Amino acid sequence: MTQKTDFNFFHPLRVRWAEVDMQRVVFNGNYLLYFDVAFTEYWRATGLRDPLGQQKSGKELFVRKAQIEYHGSAGFDDELNIGVRCAKLGRSSMTINIAIFRGDDHLIDGELIYVYADTQAKKSTPIPDAWRERLAQVERVKPEGV
Amino acid sequence: MTQKTDFNFFHPLRVRWAEVDMQRVVFNGNYLLYFDVAFTEYWRATGLRDPLGQQKSGKELFVRKAQIEYHGSAGFDDELNIGVRCAKLGRSSMTINIAIFRGDDHLIDGELIYVYADTQAKKSTPIPDAWRERLAQVERVKPEGV
Amino acid sequence: MTQKTDFNFFHPLRVRWAEVDMQRVVFNGNYLLYFDVAFTEYWRATGLRDPLGQQKSGKELFVRKAQIEYHGSAGFDDELNIGVRCAKLGRSSMTINIAIFRGDDHLIDGELIYVYADTQAKKSTPIPDAWRERLAQVERVKPEGV
Amino acid sequence: MTQKTDFNFFHPLRVRWAEVDMQRVVFNGNYLLYFDVAFTEYWRATGLRDPLGQQKSGKELFVRKAQIEYHGSAGFDDELNIGVRCAKLGRSSMTINIAIFRGDDHLIDGELIYVYADTQAKKSTPIPDAWRERLAQVERVKPEGV
């Protein structure tokens, strides 16, 4: 069971009008948009170079697999907190766990698997050591009482 | 391994400019939008009453879980074919398998698990027998050579 | 007053679930998405080279001004017809008129002003003569009874 | 010429990855999404009751006309400031002026005309006096040095 204390990083986000559908809840596909926004902020927080800005190096992150579990639903103007953590680092892949909370309500669980790839050769390429070190650092120490 | 012959129903869809990102591929979250469009058309093809139009009955389908595997990427103006099938019917849940093709390229695999729920009581409710019968009928006979 | 007979070209489009908001109508901003889709199809119909595919030439169309008048509102699953015409060609700008109909209901009027620009020099550049000739041809002859 | 000092209210907003297109700028239609977000925050700041939350009263605001001028373009991750002001109040309509800045760059000008309407009768209805008084108050005093 996912808990707030599983995460060292949270990004706050308020639900926009256009993201809500006729069922008066956020359209199910928009959570992947939220995941993307939260992952961008997580990455910024690590201080590592933007993986998408590295287009000159010809290496970029691509999503290989995404999974979402909907436990509850967010509505218009809700203030959400999105927890993000790097759960696993493979040779060229990275597993990111995400959970969305509204206050103490746990609404959404998600998982994104990214692959780091050479865009010319269209082949996966090793994740840089600098990322590996920094991400280990970021995720090692759990804060006491988030 | 997913194949075109796994599906009796396909919905054609052309990628829109606004759906493509700076990596020159469809933004990963937009595939859930495509899944939703294709499922709507699948449902229309069954001839069953629109599950979302039944708001007077107070019963609606909600997505409980979504999964996407990205094998390839679609680009602007690509003409896609989206296969949809009902893979499993539980008492109040429905598993929908989806695959996206561009010509013979198999780009995306997806799975949506819907729950049929009473929106007042906020509880799952049995899938109507009429759906069960019709969906069995739709999925029973595989066409020869799609 | 805009009429169907003002247009030689129409693109059909069905409203998607995710495009509709809690007021049960298409979110006002999504009409610009529809305009873009319809203009893309209009351009394809002219047979001219894709202005956005010309990135090798370093020249592209950019929207300079957009205007929308909302006379009525489209809802989920509505089948719309989007009329598109080139109303005016300047040295480096192009005025596109758009109207959205649902059957005989006239829902939306729009205008897009595009500028053709050199992306390196960041300056406007003359619209090619080939466009000028073809667009004149496309818009000159009104069909009898659309 | 629009200036920062024309506005008493600004909403900050960071451009999301999915909002940017292959031209590496925010897709032209997404600015209406930004306008909507900024207007929501402007309204919150007035302290007036949410015009869209008033669905029990059967009266709601609908956009009647929208206009956008694109002077410059925003890119991924840009931090924008969106100025919003009520420029005019008619009997049942409200003109909202919007401008988007990135630092000192003035990128976008916009205008939204809303109509306050009775959703049952499908007719315009007078704007409440409370809104009129509060909006006059909000817009009367220009701050010195924003």
Indicate if the pLDDT at residue B115 is higher than 90: yes
Domain count, chain D: 1
Does the residue A145 lie in any domain?
Answer: no
Min Cα distance A107 → chain C (Å) is 20
Those chains having 3 or more beta-carbon pairs within 8 angstroms of chain B are: A, C, D
Q: Which residues of chain D have pLDDT under 50?
A: 142-146
Does the residue C146 lie in any domain?
Answer: no
Average pLDDT over residues A138-144: 63
User: C19, C22, C31: which to substitute to probe chain A, counting the most A Cβ within 10 Å?
Assistant: C22
Does the residue B145 lie in any domain?
Answer: no
User: How many Cβ pairs within 8 Å bridge chains A and D?
Assistant: 26
* CA angle B116–B121–B122, rounded 5-degree value: 55
Could you say which residues from 23 to 52 on chain A have a Cβ atom under 8 Å away from some Cβ of chain D? 33, 36-37, 40, 50, 52
Does the residue A146 lie in any domain?
Answer: no
Q: Which residues contact B39 (CB under 8 A, 6 or more apart)?
A: B84, B96, B98, B112
pLDDT for the residue numbered B40: 96
pLDDT for the residue numbered C143: 43
CB pair distance less than 8 Å for A23 and B63: no
Q: Is C116 helix (H, G, I), strand (E, B) or coil?
A: strand
pLDDT for the residue numbered C145: 42
Contacts of A93 in chain B (CB under 8 A): none
Q: Which helix (H) or strand (E) holds C115?
A: strand C105-118
pLDDT for the residue numbered C133: 92
Q: How far apart are CA D54 and CA D61, in angstroms?
A: 10
Surface-to-core class of residue A142, CB atoms within 10 Å of its CB (0-12 exposed, 13-18 middle, 19+ buried): exposed
pLDDT for the residue numbered D114: 97
Of the candidate ranges B6-15, B62-71, B95-104, B116-125, the one whose mean pLDDT is the lowest? B116-125
Tell me if chain B has a CB within 8 Å of the CB of C54.
no
β-bridge partners, B12: B81
Enclosing domain of residue B58? 4-140
Q: What is the pLDDT of residues A59-82, one digit of tens each?
A: 899 999 999 999 999 999 999 999
CB pair distance less than 8 Å for D35 and C29: yes
Percent of chain B whose pLDDT exceeds 90: 79
Average pLDDT, chain C: 91
β-bridge partners, A79: A14
β-bridge partners, A26: A20
Q: What is the pLDDT of residues C63-86, one digit of tens each?
A: 999 999 999 999 999 999 999 999
pLDDT for the residue numbered C90: 94
Q: Is C103 helix (H, G, I), strand (E, B) or coil?
A: coil
pLDDT for the residue numbered C144: 45
Task: Give the N- to C-terminal CA distance of chain C in Å, as an integer.
Answer: 17
Q: What is the pLDDT of residues B29-65, one digit of tens each?
A: 999 999 999 999 999 999 997 666 555 678 899 999 9
Exposure letters B99-121 (e unless 16+ CB within 10 A, then b)? bbbbeeebbbbbbbbbbbbebee
β-bridge partners, A52: none
Does the residue C58 lie in any domain?
Answer: yes
pLDDT for the residue numbered D144: 45
pLDDT for the residue numbered A49: 77
β-bridge partners, A86: A96
Does the residue D90 lie in any domain?
Answer: yes
Taking CA–CA distances from B44, the nearest residue in chain C reads: C77
User: A24, A26, A27: which to substitute to probe chain C, counting the most C Cβ within 10 Å?
Assistant: A27
Does the residue D32 lie in any domain?
Answer: yes
Query: If you search the block for the tokens 């436990």, which residue do you land on?
Result: A71
pLDDT for the residue numbered D53: 57
D30-46 and D129-140 helices, crossing angle to 10°: 100
* Of residues C52, C63, C68, nearest to D70 (C-beta): C63
Q: How far apart are CA D59 and CA D52, in angstroms?
A: 8
Does the residue D145 lie in any domain?
Answer: no
CATH of the domain at C85: 3.10.129.10
The DSSP secondary-structure symbol of A2 reads -
Could you say which residues from 59 to 98 on chain D have a Cβ atom under 8 Å away from some Cβ of chain A? 76-77
Q: Which two tokens stand for residue C32?
A: 């610009």
Where would I find the beta strands (DSSP E) of A15-133? 59-70, 79-89, 93-102, 105-118, 123-124
Min Cα distance D115 → chain A (Å) is 18
Percent of chain A whose pLDDT exceeds 90: 79
Min Cα distance B58 → chain D (Å) is 19
Indicate if the pLDDT at residue B144 is higher than 80: no
Tell me if chain C has a CB within 8 Å of the CB of A20.
yes
pLDDT for the residue numbered A31: 98
CB pair distance less than 8 Å for D22 and B27: no
The pLDDT confidence band at residue C121, using thresholds 50, 70 and 90, is: confident
